[in-house]
Structures are given as structure tokens and as C-alpha cells.
Amino acid sequence: MSIPANKLSVVALGGVNEIGKNMYVVQYGDEIIVIDCGSKFPDESLLGIDLIVPDITYLLENRNKVKALVVTHGHEDHIGGIPYILKQLNMPVYGTRLTLGLIEGKLKEHGLLRDTKTHLIHSDSRISLGSMTLSFFSTNHSIPDCLGIAFHTPEGTIVHTGDFKFDLTPVNNQYADIHKMADLGKNGVLALLSESTNAERPGFTPSERRVGEHIEEAFAKATQKIFVSTFASNVHRLQQIIDATHKTDRKISLLGRSMVNVVNIATNLGYLNIPEGMLIDPAEVNDYEPHRIVVLCTGSQGEPMAALSRLAASSHRQIEVHRGDTVILAATPIPGNERSVARIVDNFYELGAKVIYGSGTVTGMHVSGHASQEELKLMLTLMKPKYFIPIHGEYRMLHQHRLLAEAVGVEKDNIFILKNGDVVEIQNQSARLARKIQTGNTLVDGLGIGDVGNVVLRDRKHLSEDGILIVVVTLSKAESKIISGPDIISRGFVYVRESEGLLEEVNRITTSEVQKLLLEEINQWSTYKQSIKESIGRFLFAKTKRRPMILPIIIQI
């Protein structure tokens, strides 16, 4: 499959009609540039699956055309798929310092560092890849060093915003390139791809500084140990926590692998400034008075294995939460995580801690990293695009973003809500939804990439609900009789001890089915299996209203 030369195409391989696994393609003629390569977590229906990454069949079929992977920022939904995808398709990776720092950590873990070519870029870089030139602009987001990308092509300019908000009082003075955005718009943007995460939210997202003020206030009030949990990647927030630690003359200790990892990378690259001697080892925490301690940890989303959960369950090896300590959840629970977070809050209250939790809007301990409606309108107004493609969001978010675009004057017919795989082609300044390429979810389970599919998942679902009942019968070919069994083995169905009568009956039914078929001189084993399955299934459903997986095994000697 190939796109005719001199056509400009835009495709989402992931990231529309979903939150997560962002991956977009800009193609001009025979030149493909990939933007981002994210992962997402499976929902509860994908039993046992660890991660989802985009299906890159299209890129594999066009592997010689792929010029580069350009990464907007270092969040998992933009970089989490990189090691899995690079195993299938090697391509040079472009990113800013922090972004590359985080990517390189992953590559190392997967043994890919040596074979991957990385290119450091910054907001003033200009890179030429065939007939396209890429320029960049800084944006504000909940991780430093974020870029928007402008693709200058012979057909016109395509802008991809990356993730953004407008923080007019950013921490560390990391201002967004608002003048560059205005210039892009002035010079003409053919198509804008803009993120839609908060398109349902009215108003203007508050500045990250607001969180710093609330943290300082809470630190000033605390009389004992302070535990703060937030997203490790929110380096600006980490800096504000460190600043508040400094102001209250405390030491800080880090818990959680990703927290230690990000703090190391960010400190080494100069994004995080920790005063000499402030950082202490978890083992040293108990050497200090409680009012001298801050513990900064992962697990703000209630992840059961993370540091915060272990602290709440009093199962951390080195550190305990005591009556009177303060626990701050500097994060709003992401939909789906509320119950796990609530369980942690319950536990901390039981330990006698003061807990600051709940929506960041109320506590002031969290602000979003994404643009609300007024900011999305501001971006659209700055860029004045002819065509608009809302990206990075579920359908209702894309829909609301469309309404915002219409409100600021984008032509209704010039807005494309895509499904993953939909190709928008632009030729002679005119865009249309042209066709669809293969894409979708690639499931990662342990070391397997894409080796678990619907059949396996359906079996897991079935097993998870009612368990399995295995029936083994050994038959003598010569004598046409049962010589061993039936043996009944059940897992995840019922307690064997409490259900002896039930399983004896299963045994009896199996024997009588097999003997009947032997008498009829049937020797297709599939008939035996089917017949055992059906008769036992009927019997068990009548008795228990459950439908375990029934697996007859017939051995003939």
C-alpha cells in the first residue's frame, strides 16, 4: 500500500477515540515522519495484559519510507511504546534533553540503547528530513521540555501541538513560545492537530504555581513527618515540593523506583535543583525528628504495589506513618482509580494521619497539565488553521473540541474527527478523508508482543468467572472400555471438599456418556468430548447456575 507522491497525508496510529498510546504520522510523498509512540494501560477486560502499544503494520509495510520518530515530550502515553516498536522497526529518535533522557532509560532496560540513533533537539532546532523541514515551539505542560511541531512541506504547514496548557506564570520561568505560535499562524497553517484532553472543561487551567502555594501552606502547618505523593514526571511540582522542604528546614527522602529515576535524570540534566545535603536515604529517615522529614513518593493513583500503598498498609520496610503525620495526595485520581485511592485514604486515617486528598480543584494540590476550553480556543486563534483535526482524546472530547473550533471560526466542513487509521489527504490545498489503513491495539503480555489475542483473552475471561473443570478418561482401544478415570480436577470452580457430591455426579455422568458411545462403537474422539462437555455443562448449570470451562481429555492406549 502506498500513497501517491506529492500528496500530504495525516494519520493517527493511536491517540484518537482513546486516552493513551499516541502515535501520529505525517507523510509527504514517500517520506514518513512519526510523531510520538505511546503506550496505554489495558482496561479490566484485557485480563493479564501488561500494556497496549500501537499496531504499526502500516509502518512495517513502508519501512523504507520512515525517516524519523519525533517525540513531543516524555510522558508514558507518548514514549511508553518506543522500546516495543523499535524492536520491530529501527528508526532515529528525535527529542529534547529530558525527553531523550527518559527514553534512553527505557532503551537501556530493553537492551536497545546501542542500536538506536538519538538526536537531541530543542525549541529552536530546525531539521530537514527530505522535502519536509521541521521547526518547534515550547509549550507548558506537566513535564518540562515539551514541544509542539511545525511540519513545513511543499503543500503547506502542518502543526501538531503536543500536549499543552498556557501557564503564564510557569515554574522555573519555562515560558511557552507564544510569539512563535503567533508567527506560525500569521504565515499560514494548513492543518492543525491539537490535543483535546480537557476539551470538556470550561475556563482556563490554573497555573502550576498555585500548587506550590498550597504545598507551602500545608508544609508550614505540619508538625510531624510529611508524606507527599505525586506523578514522578511532574518535575516542576517536584521542584516546588523541594522548595517548600527547604523553607521549612526539612530533609527529603524518595520512595518508589520511578521517583528515584526521574529525580536522578532531572537533577543530572539540570531540570531539578536540590540543595546540597537535603536528600537523605530512606534508611536515615528515623534518625531525624519527625518535624525535620519530608517523604516524596510514588503511588498517588492508588497503584497497589507503589510506595504510598505500602505506607498506608504499614508494610514499608523502613518508614512508618504515625498519628499526627501529614499525608498529601498532590494528584486528582484519574477516572477508574478513585476506589484504590479512597482505600489508601481510609488506611491513613486509621493510622491517625491528617490526609489532604480529593479533587485538586478543592484541595489546590493538583492542577491539570492540559489546556481547558479557553486555552484551546487561544491555540486555535493563534494558529488560524484552514483544516483542524482534534487529537488526543476520547470521542466526546474530540467532539467538544470541534465545537470550540467552530466557535472561533474554523469552517465546519474543514474539521475532521478521525478514528485511528483514518487517512486525511491534502492535495492542492484541499483535504479529504481518503481511506483507512490497518491499525489498532498490540497487546504486550510479559515478553510477548502481540501473541495474545481474542481467543486467549476470551479463555481468560471465561476462566476468571467460573474456573475450569478437567475430565480425564483413558480408554483401551483394543477392549473398547474405560481403563482409567474418569478423574475430575477443578480449579477456580468450587471447593472440592464442600462439593464432593457434585463432583461424584460429574464422574457418574461422564462414565455413562462414554460407555454409551463405546457401545455405539463411535470412535471419533471429538464426539466423546462434545458429548461429555454438553452433558456436564447442562448438569452443572442446573445445579449451580455457573458455567465453568469444561475440558474433557480422552486418552486411548
CB 437 within 8 A of CB 11: yes
Task: State the Cα–Cα distance between residues 363 and 537, nearest whole angstrom.
Answer: 54
Decide: is 325 part of the binding site for a copy of itself (CB under 8 A).
no
303 binds a copy of itself (CB under 8 A): no
d(CA 164, CA 194): 9
**Residue 61: CB minimum distance to a copy of itself, A:** 20
Which stretch in 54-62, 110-118, 171-179, 349-357 sits in contact with a copy of itself by CB under 8 A?
349-357
| Residue 110 among known ligand-binding residues | no
- ∠ CA(102), CA(108), CA(111), 5° rounding? 145
3-state helix, strand, coil in the chain (%, to 5): 35, 25, 40
**Amino acid making up residue 259:** M
**229 Cβ neighbours under 8 A, 6+ residues apart:** 296, 297, 298, 299, 300, 307, 308, 327, 328, 329, 330, 331
Q: Is the peptide bond before 385 cis (omega within 30 degrees of 0)?
A: no
69/82 Cα distance (integer angstroms): 9
**Residue of 284, 346, 411, 479 interacting with a copy of itself (CB under 8 A):** 346
**Closer Cβ to a copy of itself, 440 or 448, answer by number:** 448
Binding mask 465-484 for a copy of itself (x = CB under 8 A): xxxx-x-x-x--------xx
Query: Where does residue 380 rank: exposed (0-12), middle (13-18), buried (19+ CB within 10 A)?
Result: buried
Minimum separation from the CB atom of position 407 to a copy of itself (A)? 16
The least distance separating a copy of itself from the CB of residue 513, rounded to whole angstroms, comes to: 19
The answer to whether 340 is a known ligand-binding residue is no
Pattern of binders to a copy of itself over 251-270, x per CB under 8 A?
A: --------------------
For the question of residue 195 being annotated catalytic, the response is yes
Based on the shown chain and the rule CB under 8 A, indicate whether residue 395 belongs to the binding site for a copy of itself. yes
Q: Write phi, then psi, for 125 (nearest 5 degrees).
A: -65, 150
Footprint on residues 199-238 left by a copy of itself (CB under 8 A)? 200
322 assigned ligand-binding residue: no
323 binds a copy of itself (CB under 8 A): no
> Residue 406 interacts with a copy of itself (CB under 8 A)?
no
3-class DSSP state of 448: strand
Out of 18, 76, 155, 195, which one is annotated catalytic? 195
Provide, rounded to whole angstroms, the least separation between the CB of residue 362 and a copy of itself. Answer: 9
Residues 6+ positions from 405 with CB-CB distance below 8 Å? 380, 388, 390, 415
Report, in Å, the least distance between residue 327 CB and a copy of itself: 12
Q: Is 349 in the site for a copy of itself (CB under 8 A)?
A: yes
Interface with a copy of itself includes 109 (CB under 8 A)?
no
* Packing angle of the helix pair 525-544, 500-519 (nearest 10 deg): 150
Q: Judged by CB under 8 A, does residue 378 bind a copy of itself?
A: no
- Residue 414 has what DSSP assignment? G
Whether 338 is catalytic: no
Q: Does 538 participate in binding a copy of itself (rule CB under 8 A)?
A: no
Q: Contact with a copy of itself (CB under 8 A): which of 446, 480, 504, 538?
A: 446
Beta strand residue intervals within 15-80, DSSP E: 23-28, 31-35, 51-54, 66-70
Query: Any contact of residue 399 with a copy of itself (CB under 8 A)?
Result: yes
Within 112-171, the residues that bind a copy of itself by CB under 8 A are: none
Our CA dihedral for 63, 67, 72, 77, rounded to 10 degrees, sits at: 10
Does the annotation place 152 within a ligand binding site?
no
What are the backbone dihedrals phi and psi of residue 144, each rounded to the nearest 5 degrees, phi first? -70, 170
**Active-site annotation holder among 370, 401, 425, 513:** 370
d(CA 411, CA 388): 9
Annotated binding residue 233: yes
Which C-beta is closer to a copy of itself: that of 171 or that of 345?
Answer: 345
Helix/strand/coil for 212: helix
Using alpha carbons, select from 198, 107, 191 the residue that is nearest to residue 152.
191
Closest CB 544 distance from a copy of itself, rounded Å: 5
For 195, the 3-state DSSP assignment is strand
In angstroms, rounded to a whole number, what is the distance separating the alpha carbons of residues 432 and 425?
A: 6
Candidates 3-11, 40-48, 134-142, 271-279; binding stretch for a copy of itself (CB under 8 A): 40-48
Q: How far is the CB of 164 from a copy of itself (least distance, A)?
A: 23
CA distance 51 to 80: 9
276 binds a copy of itself (CB under 8 A): no
The binding site for substrate consists of: 232-234, 366-370
Residues annotated as catalytic (active site), given as ranges: 195, 370
The binding site consists of: 48, 50, 73, 75, 77-78, 141, 163, 232-234, 366-370, 392, 445
Give contact residues for a copy of itself (rule: CB under 8 A). Answer: 17, 43-44, 47-48, 200, 335-336, 338-339, 342, 345-347, 349-350, 355, 358, 394-396, 399, 445-448, 451-453, 455-457, 459-468, 470, 472, 474, 483-485, 487, 489, 491-495, 498-499, 543-546, 549, 551, 553, 555-557
The binding site for Zn(2+) consists of: 73, 75, 77-78, 141, 163, 392
